[in-house]
């Protein structure tokens, strides 16, 4: 009997019906394994925090689309950077045909590393470490902490930052990566009127609601006069040399700066900012109120880009600053700090490769920029003006980007002033961001 049963089962195992069942079982098992494998691949591609998120306490009550997943489990450290190298060839003649005495310069202008760390989905640290002009060894370059702050991203309308912050004024100061602006050099108005790159220690809030965004910080004030490594305000560079660059900034005087931007359509922006502060830092026997306001706008449509900015500066008690700085009065006294400064520019560009159906991601943009600025628009009584500080500049050139992260630039600058001592120059540059 037992032998018969073994024989029957052997026959059944050999029958076509049994083979099909086994094949089906094998196929089912293969499909199951394949499904597991594709799910594992998906998890690897998208990240386990997206596919299998770990819910945190109190995560009820908000619609799923109201917030985003910031990967907390992996990729906590962020490294990035940008840089630019430039060549400037200055004209041998000034505007008035006198010898300029200017030399050509090849410069490793900036090599910057970003380092960030994401502690969790709402607290991150961000920093920008800047190496300027190749080396500190020759007394020409410097290493600086351009930004280093903690960011508390609570919700869309409200966040907070504290640390070394970029002052939120103008177009270029906060977004100064060289792939983001045309021209080898930054706009002069955003160097001499808004002293980019301008960073300072402070804290504040930021956020956005629909098309409106804002930033409002309290920061250490500027330093109007020379002391402990800061040279103070000047006739030709305006507020620029009054920046402490977050290096043990005197905080006897503070300042507030608030910016509001409105984005009517993506890629177009209208905004303004106001800076109110004091700059005596107890080195001047009087308060030195500083007020800066600016309005800016930019738009882009298809290959065309247009941007414009106007800024004004008022310095109170500029005569007391001059006295503290030892600026001579009378006929030779043309080195006064301006008690009013202003500047504006308008720039247009067109990416001609956008006309091609498939530009392969390249862009080639001829651009032109007009700038007018004066760091001595008004000076205190007893002090005269230097007409060389009333300037008009024209820049025309090309920006070529083989990929969005790399730019090759060339331009010519006609630099004019009312003293007719301007020196034209042409510039070449390469820039990258990663």
Segment 357 to 396, residues that bind other proteins, using CB under 8 A: 357-361, 363
Instruction: Verify binding: residue 162, other proteins, rule CB under 8 A.
Output: yes
Instruction: Verify binding: residue 256, other proteins, rule CB under 8 A.
Output: yes
Residue span binding other proteins (CB under 8 A) among the ranges 131-139, 203-211, 335-343, 408-416: 203-211
Instruction: Verify binding: residue 47, other proteins, rule CB under 8 A.
Output: yes
- The CB-of-11 to other proteins minimum distance in angstroms stands at 40
Q: Of the two residues 229 and 361, which places its CB atom closer to other proteins in the complex?
A: 361
Q: Of the two residues 266 and 326, which places its CB atom closer to other proteins in the complex?
A: 266
Assess contact for 400 and 408: CB atoms under 8 A. yes
Residue span binding other proteins (CB under 8 A) among the ranges 157-165, 238-246, 336-344, 413-421: 157-165
Q: For residue 129, is the peptide bond before it cis, meaning its omega torsion is within 30 degrees of 0?
A: no
Using CB under 8 A, pick the residue from 19, 27, 36, 175 that binds other proteins. 175
Instruction: Verify binding: residue 41, other proteins, rule CB under 8 A.
Output: yes
Instruction: Verify binding: residue 118, other proteins, rule CB under 8 A.
Output: yes
Other CB atoms closer than 10 Å to residue 317's CB: what's the count? Answer: 21
Instruction: Verify binding: residue 124, other proteins, rule CB under 8 A.
Output: yes
Using CB under 8 A, pick the residue from 16, 58, 99, 137 that binds other proteins. 58
Q: Binders of other proteins among 1-40, rule CB under 8 A? A: 34-35, 38-39
Instruction: Verify binding: residue 226, other proteins, rule CB under 8 A.
Output: no
Instruction: Verify binding: residue 75, other proteins, rule CB under 8 A.
Output: yes
- Which DSSP string corresponds to 211-258? TEEEEEEEEEPP--S-BTTB---BTTTBTGGG--TTSS---SSEEEEE
Q: Of the two residues 168 and 333, which places its CB atom closer to other proteins in the complex?
A: 168
- The CB-of-202 to other proteins minimum distance in angstroms stands at 7
> Which CA distances in Å does 224 have to 108, 146, 203, 334?
30, 21, 22, 18
Residue 182 has φ and ψ, to the nearest 5°, of -85, 155
Instruction: Verify binding: residue 116, other proteins, rule CB under 8 A.
Output: yes
Instruction: Verify binding: residue 63, other proteins, rule CB under 8 A.
Output: yes
Measuring CA to CA, which residue among 240, 112, 125 is closest to residue 179?
A: 112
Instruction: Verify binding: residue 289, other proteins, rule CB under 8 A.
Output: no
Instruction: Verify binding: residue 50, other proteins, rule CB under 8 A.
Output: yes
Using CB under 8 A, pick the residue from 8, 21, 46, 106 that binds other proteins. 46
Q: Of the two residues 276 and 346, which places its CB atom closer to other proteins in the complex?
A: 276
Instruction: Verify binding: residue 267, other proteins, rule CB under 8 A.
Output: yes
Q: Cα–Cα distance between 342 and 272 in angstroms, integer? A: 15
Q: Cα–Cα distance between 32 and 302 in angstroms, integer? A: 49
Measuring CA to CA, which residue among 381, 382, 373, 379 is closest to residue 422?
A: 373
Using CB under 8 A, pick the residue from 2, 5, 6, 57 that binds other proteins. 57
Residue span binding other proteins (CB under 8 A) among the ranges 71-79, 98-106, 326-334, 367-375: 71-79
SS3 95: coil
All residues at 6 or more sequence positions from 38 whose CB lies less than 8 Å from its CB, including other chains: none
* 246 torsion bin: left (phi>0), alpha (psi -120 to 50), beta (else): left
Instruction: Verify binding: residue 228, other proteins, rule CB under 8 A.
Output: no
Measuring CA to CA, which residue among 200, 202, 192 is closest to residue 144?
A: 200
Assess contact for 143 and 111: CB atoms under 8 A. no
Instruction: Verify binding: residue 398, other proteins, rule CB under 8 A.
Output: no
Using CB under 8 A, pick the residue from 204, 232, 238, 397 that binds other proteins. 204
Partners of 297 in the β-ladder: 270, 308
Q: Binders of other proteins among 300-329, rule CB under 8 A? A: 300-303
Q: Cα–Cα distance between 405 and 262 in angstroms, integer? A: 26
């Amino acid at each position: 009997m037992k032998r018969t049963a073994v024989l029957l089962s052997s026959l059944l195992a050999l029958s076509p019906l049994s083979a099909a069942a086994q094949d089906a079982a094998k196929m089912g098992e293969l499909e199951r394994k394949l499904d597991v494998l594709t799910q594992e691949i998906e998890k690897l591609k998208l990240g386990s925090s997206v596919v299998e998120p770990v819910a945190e306490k109190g995560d009820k009550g908000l619609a799923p689309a109201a917030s985003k997943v910031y990967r907390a489990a992996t990729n906590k450290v962020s490294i990035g950077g940008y840089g630019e190298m430039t060549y400037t060839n200055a004209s041998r003649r000034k505007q008035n045909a006198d010898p300029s005495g200017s030399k050509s310069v090849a410069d490793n202008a900036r090599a910057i590393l970003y380092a960030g760390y994401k502690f969790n989905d709402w607290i991150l640290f961000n920093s920008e470490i800047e190496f300027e002009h190749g080396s500190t060894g020759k007394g020409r370059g410097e290493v600086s902490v351009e930004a280093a702050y903690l960011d508390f991203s609570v919700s869309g309308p409200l966040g907070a930052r504290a640390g070394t912050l970029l002052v939120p004024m103008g177009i270029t100061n906060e977004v100064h990566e060289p792939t983001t602006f045309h021209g080898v050099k930054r706009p002069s108005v955003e160097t001499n009127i808004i002293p980019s790159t301008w960073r300072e220690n402070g804290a504040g809030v930021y956020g956005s609601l629909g098309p409106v965004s804002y930033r409002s910080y309290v920061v250490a004030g500027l330093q109007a006069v020379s002391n402990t490594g800061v040279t103070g305000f000047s006739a030709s560079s305006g507020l620029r040399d009054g920046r402490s660059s977050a290096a043990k900034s005197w905080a006897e005087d503070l300042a507030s700066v608030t910016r509001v931007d409105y984005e009517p359509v993506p890629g177009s922006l209208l905004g303004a900012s106001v800076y109110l502060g004091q700059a005596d830092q107890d080195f001047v026997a009087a308060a030195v109120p500083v007020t800066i306001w600016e309005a800016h706008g930019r738009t882009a449509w298809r290959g065309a880009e247009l941007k414009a900015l106007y800024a004004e500066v008022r310095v109170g008690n500029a005569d007391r600053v001059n006295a503290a700085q030892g600026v001579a009065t009378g006929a030779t006294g043309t080195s006064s700090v301006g008690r009013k400064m202003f500047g504006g520019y308008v720039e247009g560009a067109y990416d001609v490769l956008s006309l091609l159906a498939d530009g392969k991601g390249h862009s080639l943009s001829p651009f032109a920029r007009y700038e007018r600025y004066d760091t001595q628009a008004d000076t205190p009584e007893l002090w005269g003006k230097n007409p060389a500080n009333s300037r008009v500049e024209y820049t025309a050139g090309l920006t070529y980007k083989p990929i969005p992260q790399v730019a090759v630039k060339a331009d010519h600058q006609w630099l004019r002033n009312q003293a007719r001592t301007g020196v034209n120059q042409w510039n070449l540059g390469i820039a990258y961001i990663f």
